[in-house]
Structures are given as C-alpha cells and as structure tokens.
C-alpha cells in the first residue's frame, strides 16, 4: 500500500488584493505557517501564475517551484476549473459563464471555446515543465439543462452530447498524455461529468482514454445523495486527485436536493468547513489507502458559515490526523507458519 501525501490546500478561494493573499510568495508563506506541505495552484489569475509565461519559460516555472520549495511546499497540481468549464457551454448558460472568459471572446461561443482549449494546451505544457502527474479541471456541460428527464429527452440526445463533449476534449487529453499528466475531472453538479454514470459515459466516448481520470470530492456526492464510499470501491483505479471538502445534507419539509433557488445558507445541502459536516473522512482515507492512492489530499475550503482563514487553519491538522501510514506486515504474522505442502494436505485430509 502507498501513503497519501498531505496536507495540501487549493489556493483559489483565498486569493485577494490584500496581503498575504495577493502574491504567490505571500500565499506560500501563509499556508506554510499553517502546516501545509502542498499547494494546488489555479491558472486563471496571473498574479499567482501567468499561464502563458509558464508555458514558454522553464525558468519561470522553476522560479515558482523554487519559491514553493523555499517554504517547504510542493505544487501538487495545477487547476483549470474555469477554463475547463468553458470547453463546453450550452447557450442557456452563455451569459452566466462569460465572466470566466477574457473580454475579447465574450459573447462569441466559438471564440470562447477556442480560447479555453488553448488554455488547456498551455496547462498541459506547464504541467510537463513542473513534472506534475495530475491536473484538476471541470468538463463543461452541453447537457446539464436536461439533467431532469422532463421534458422527455429525444432519443439519442445524451449519446450525441457525450460524443460532442469527447470530441472537444480528445485533443486536450492527447496533449496531457504527451505531457505525462492525468486529467482529473471534478465530478460536480453543473458539469456533464457529475457522477459515476456520467463519468462512465464520457470514458466510453473517449474510447477509455488513459488520461480520463477523477478528482474525488465527497462533498458533491453528499449534496447529490450518492454513496461516496461505494464510489471509491467502484472507481478507485481512476481516482488520481482528491479534494478534502466537507458537506451536510439536511432536508426539510420545504427544501431538498434542488434547493428551492435559495442561497447556500438556506439550502438543505451545504458545503462546510472540515469537521463541521457529515462526511466520514476516516472511512475515505482508509479506503483510498487500501486501494493504494498515493496522490495528495488537498483542502478545498468552501463554507457558508465559517471564516475562510479559520477553515484554512483548521484544515491542515484535520488532514494530518487522517493520513494513514500503511502497515508493512499483517497484524497476525506472529501466529503464521511457513508453507508446508504436506502439512496443508494433512489438514485437508488429502
């Protein structure tokens, strides 16, 4: 068995104009002081990482990894969640997602998709320069507006949607394959890849591409009421990244999975800081260790109640205490005996 690495933290939710959240080095210094050993780095804010520059310059990449190393940190993965979202946007969501794109491509779906694809290719190059084995992203969505089967979906619609999604992603997956990096899709409501079955559909549509993998985040499965422990049993071979994020689901007489258009505070399903929700992380870390997951355990902080700095401070020791050093021997080895075929045959009456 391998050991999970950690604790690490996703920087995206903490970036701001105020120190220590305004530069890469300041963020490294801050998270290191909290006890983190790794950082997952977003690629859409040039104050933190200039993706175009990094794709062109090994020196720049080495400078970033050097700064992280100075504070005892490793870069765990890069993230292109916003760019991945723009790989596929149904027109119903065009205006809502335009804010993720630069001004010059807003309102132009074709240009926006082309920009997103180029961003993904750049991310593959940077992952290779930084020698990263995994990459975190979203799939985008052409079908999400049909997630509930009313009105009835026309025959062939779902297959057409997943084939089109795969067609957009296959060149990107090949670029990451050349870079030696797994593309880890965060299975998330709002994406066409949001649960196990949709992941399987996409995997089949890409002819089981070896770089199609999973960023495992149990919080999204709590909100969908999916068995997040059984999910590990089924898909562990494809889990290559891990967001440690808590959640709770408390339905009532007025509101359930769909949330009634309420804000996060009033929804039945809510993201919470680590330890404040319902996720059984002891079982998750046990299962991932059992199946040999040796990637990073990365805090993604999202909570509608607790202050982010408190959530970050509590996250490192929370993850640390859940890390399992795998045993090198069976607990009952002391009672074992060397193999003796004749003895075994006698025990069996043979």
Give 26-40 pLDDT, tens digit per residue: 999 999 999 999 999
Provide the strand spans (E) within 245-328: 246-249, 269-272, 296-299
Q: What is the mean pLDDT of residues 227-250?
A: 98
* pTM reported for the whole predicted model: 0.96
Burial call 202-229: b when 16+ CB within 10 Å, e when fewer: bbebbeebebbbbbbbbbbbbbbebebe
Tell me if 167 sits within 8 A of 140, measured CB to CB.
no
Residue 26: the pLDDT is 98
Rounded to 5 degrees, what are φ and ψ at 217?
A: -135, 105
Residue 335: the pLDDT is 65
Residue 280: the pLDDT is 98
Q: How confident is the model at residue 1 (pLDDT cuts 50, 70, 90)?
A: confident
Q: How confident is the model at residue 220 (pLDDT cuts 50, 70, 90)?
A: very high
325, pLDDT greater than 70: yes
Tell me if 245 sits within 8 A of 219, measured CB to CB.
yes
- Architecture of the domain delimited by 5-330: Alpha-Beta Barrel (3.20)
Residue 6: the pLDDT is 97
**d(C-alpha 319, C-alpha 134), whole Å:** 20
Average pLDDT, the chain: 96
Residue 116: the pLDDT is 98
Please list, in sequence order, all residues whose beta carbon lies within 8 angstroms of the beta carbon of residue 101, skipping any fewer than 6 positions away: 86, 112, 115, 116
148, pLDDT greater than 70: yes
């Amino acid at each position: 068995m391998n050991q999970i690495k950690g604790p690490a933290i996703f920087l995206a939710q903490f970036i701001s104009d105020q120190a220590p959240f305004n530069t890469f080095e300041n963020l490294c210094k801050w998270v290191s002081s909290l006890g983190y050993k790794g950082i997952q780095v977003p690629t859409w804010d040039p104050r933190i990482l200039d993706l175009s520059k990094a794709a062109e310059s090994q020196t720049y990449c080495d400078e970033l990894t050097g700064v992280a190393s100075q504070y005892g940190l490793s870069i765990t993965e890069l993230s292109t969640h916003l760019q991945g979202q723009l790989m596929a946007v149904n027109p119903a969501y065009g205006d809502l997602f335009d804010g993720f794109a630069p001004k010059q491509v807003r309102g132009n779906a074709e240009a926006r998709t082309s920009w997103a694809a180029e961003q993904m290719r750049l991310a593959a190059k940077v992952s290779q320069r930084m020698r990263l084995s995994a990459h975190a992203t979203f799939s985008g969505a052409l079908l999400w507006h049909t997630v509930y089967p009313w009105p009835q979906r026309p025959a062939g619609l779902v297959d057409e949607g997943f084939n089109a999604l795969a067609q957009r992603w296959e060149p990107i997956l090949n670029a990451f394959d050349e870079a030696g990096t797994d593309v880890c899709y965060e299975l998330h409501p709002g994406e066409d890849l949001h649960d196990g079955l949709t992941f399987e559909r996409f995997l089949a549509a890409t002819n089981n591409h070896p770089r199609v993998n999973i960023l495992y985040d149990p919080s999204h499965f709590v909100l969908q009421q999916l068995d997040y422990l059984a999910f590990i049993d089924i898909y562990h071979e494809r889990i290559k990244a891990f967001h440690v994020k808590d959640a709770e689901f408390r339905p009532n007489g007025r509101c359930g999975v769909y949330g009634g258009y309420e804000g996060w505070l009033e929804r039945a399903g809510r993201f919470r800081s680590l330890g404040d929700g319902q996720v059984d992380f002891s079982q998750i870390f046990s299962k991932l260790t059992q199946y040999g997951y040796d990637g990073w355990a990365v805090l993604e902080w999202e909570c509608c109640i607790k202050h982010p700095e408190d959530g970050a401070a509590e996250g490192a020791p929370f993850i640390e205490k859940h890390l399992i050093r795998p045993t090198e021997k069976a607990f009952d080895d002391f009672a074992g005996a060397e193999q003796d075929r004749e003895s075994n045959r006698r025990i069996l009456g043979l």
